[in-house]
């Protein structure tokens, strides 16, 4: 697993390069342009979102459990000279922050890979202030394409190994609602520039509701 983790971190940016050019850069910029206050990004990986955050944020907390990803993340922080950034070693299932301490939580292509999605969403809900926002961009199960969904189910066991735990068939939108979030806006689009089994996606904003 250590070897796959090292390889995945080393080549992740290259693997995502085509998708970033074709759609993800535009999507990231639109999602993050208005975030403010205390912002937590979970599973921030190599830091592909860094350039889209305002330098005027009160505090930007970057949570990443993988040592290889964090190495590249720290290099990007130094190169971009981004102020008010704190990097934490930790998982989304056990966020090392106090209750109601964040205005915004950002999750981009992360909830597919957390070991316990229900626990991760519970933790996100916990650290958000009342009416705090979860900004999300996640690939999900191809519910509107039976053939593609079958291929997702077939390939998921192998895919999880080579991508360090990434699931292809998660119903992340449903899981958000079950965790107590209310969608302020949600869009379903196809991520261009990636294999077909990873293209179905959701993006938008979910607000912490009252359980």
Q: Which two tokens stand for residue 17?
A: 């390069």
pTM for the model stands at: 0.94
pLDDT of residue 118: 97
- What confidence tens digit (pLDDT) does each residue in 79-125 have? 767 778 999 999 999 999 999 999 999 999 999 999 999 999 999 99
SS3 201: strand
The rounded percent of the chain whose pLDDT value lies above 70 is 96
**DSSP H helices in the chain:** 2-19, 25-32, 67-80, 117-127, 146-162, 172-178
Contact 73, 64 (CB under 8 A): yes
pLDDT tens-digit readout, 6-61 = 777 777 888 899 999 999 999 999 999 999 999 999 999 899 999 899 888 889 99
Q: If you average pLDDT over every residue of the chain, what do you get?
A: 92
Q: Which structural domains are found in the chain, ordered by start? A: 2-208 (3.40.50.150)
DSSP state of 24: I
């Amino acid at each position: 697993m250590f070897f796959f983790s090292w390889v995945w971190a080393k080549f992740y940016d290259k693997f995502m390069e085509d998708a970033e050019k074709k759609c993800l850069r535009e999507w990231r910029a639109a999602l993050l342009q208005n975030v403010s206050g205390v912002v937590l990004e979970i599973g921030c990986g190599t830091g592909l979102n860094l350039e889209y955050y305002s330098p005027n944020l009160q505090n930007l907390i970057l949570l990443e459990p993988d040592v290889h990803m964090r190495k590249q993340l720290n290099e990007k922080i130094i190169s971009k000279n981004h102020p008010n950034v704190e990097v934490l070693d930790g998982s989304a299932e056990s966020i090392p922050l106090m209750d109601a301490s964040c205005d915004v939580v950002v999750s981009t292509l992360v909830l597919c890979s957390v070991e316990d999605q229900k626990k991760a969403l519970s933790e996100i809900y916990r650290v958000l202030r009342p009416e705090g926002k979860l900004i999300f961009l996640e690939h999900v199960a191809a519910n509107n394409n039976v053939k593609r969904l079958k291929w997702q189910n077939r390939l998921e066991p192998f895919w999880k190994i080579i991508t360090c735990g990434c699931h292809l068939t998660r119903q992340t939108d449903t899981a958000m609602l079950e965790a107590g979030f209310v969608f302020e806006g949600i869009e379903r689009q196809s991520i261009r520039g990636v294999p077909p089994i990873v293209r179905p996606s959701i993006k938008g904003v979910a607000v912490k509701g009252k359980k």
